[in-house]
Amino acid sequence: MEHFAALKILHVVATALLLLSALVLAGWLIKGRRAGDLTIQNRLVLRPWLFVWILMAVCLVVLPVSGWYLVHGAGWPLGQTWLLAASVLYILGALNWTWLVVRLNRLRRPVIVGNPKFTLALAIFSAICFIAIAGLMGAKPI
């Protein structure tokens, strides 16, 4: 298999796993909230779900590396507007995702009380960033 095609597959799989993991966690949270469990967010970072968080972290590390090699292999200049916009969105989304994970880990402790609306806003903003990046990558206005 050609290296460029393998990198494309790796990049698409990492993107799909990242978005799928986020959807699974969001679905589990919504299902628990609808069932009346107000402490469901406290269990989001427990051991069974730790795999999902680690999978998301690995995808967040793989995406910029494989993306850079794809851009380099295609011969596109890094100064294109859509690449710069995607890079800025990626940095914002990754930093936001990290803040979200730290915040959810802190919410597990009974002593610290946080604002669940702010946590939800972090999750939504991070999801919007990564969906916008996927849209930019899909459109590729060259």
Distance between CA atoms of residues 46 and 35, nearest Å: 19
Total domain count, the chain: 1
pLDDT digits (tens, 9 = 90+) for 16-37: 888 888 888 778 878 877 888 7
Mean confidence (pLDDT) of the chain:
81
Domain of 69, in residue numbers: 3-139
For the CA atoms of 104, 106, 112, 116, the dihedral, rounded to the nearest 10 degrees, stands at -10
Do the beta carbons of residue 18 and residue 59 sit within 8 Å? yes
Nearest to 108 by CA among 65, 49, 64: 49
pLDDT digits (tens, 9 = 90+) for 86-113: 999 999 999 998 888 888 777 666 666 6
pLDDT at 60: 86
Q: Which amino acid is at 28?
A: W
Question: What percentage of the chain carries pLDDT values higher than 70?
Answer: 84
The answer, yes or no, to whether residue 52 has pLDDT greater than 80, is no
